[in-house]
Amino acid sequence: MSMWKDQLSSKKDAPPPAADPTPLRDAAPVPAMPEPIAVAPAPTPVAAPRPATREVKESLIASDLTIEGKIEGSGHVRIAGKFKGDVNVQGDLTIEQGAKLSGGVKANKVVIAGELEGNIEAAKQVELLASGVLTGDVKCGTMTVATGARMRGQADFGWDGSEKKKDKDSDAA
């Protein structure tokens, strides 16, 4: 139903004009349809790279093992058995209750619940738990000693390299 009224009702009854089938000579040629251009798909968005945190693996010396040698690496080491030798890791070292390590230690964090006979050098943090026994010297950033822990040796912590150097320079003057 239309909403307006047709003004010329006579045109309504008239047949539509017929299209002239003869082409005009002067008419411009109709251009051919261009072939579709292949468009490369839009690149798939790539997830932003993760920060430099990577999954660190842990190596375990089981409680029923006794090993002699040297440990070096970038992961975490957990000793539940007995190990004789040096440990140099960029991760953490944990000596579990009942375990024993005889040797030098370099690690980011050292947790002692068992026994360590040897020196700890260049650790950022050392935790001597209540069941822990340390026989050796310690050089670290921070040290936590729980009630009941035992230690025999010297402890040097809370100093960074610049303060030690400053103290040595003032002693030389």
Residue range 53-59: mean pLDDT, rounded:
76
pLDDT at 56: 73
CB-based burial, 59-86: b 16+ in 10 Å, e otherwise: eebeeeeeeeeebeeeebbbbbbbbeeb
pLDDT at 37: 63
Per-residue pLDDT band for 1 (boundaries 50, 70, 90) equals low
Q: How far apart are CA 76 and CA 54, in angstroms?
A: 13
pLDDT at 66: 95
Per the document, the length of the chain is 173
**Does 29 have pLDDT greater than 70?**
no
DSSP the chain: --SS--S-HHHHHSPPPPP--SPPTTSPPPPPPPPPPP-PPPPPPPPPPPPS--PPPEEEE-TT-EEES-EEESSEEEESSEEES-EEESSEEEE-TT-EEES-EE-SEEEESSEEES-EEEEEEEEE-TT-EEES-EEEEEEEE-TT-EEES-EEES--HHHHHHHHHHHH-
pLDDT at 159: 81
Residues above pLDDT 70, as percent of the chain: 61
Model pTM score: 0.63
* Residue with the larger pLDDT of the pair 55 and 122: 122
Pairing of strands 115-117, 100-102: parallel
Name the most confidently modeled range: 50-54, 98-102, 161-165: 98-102
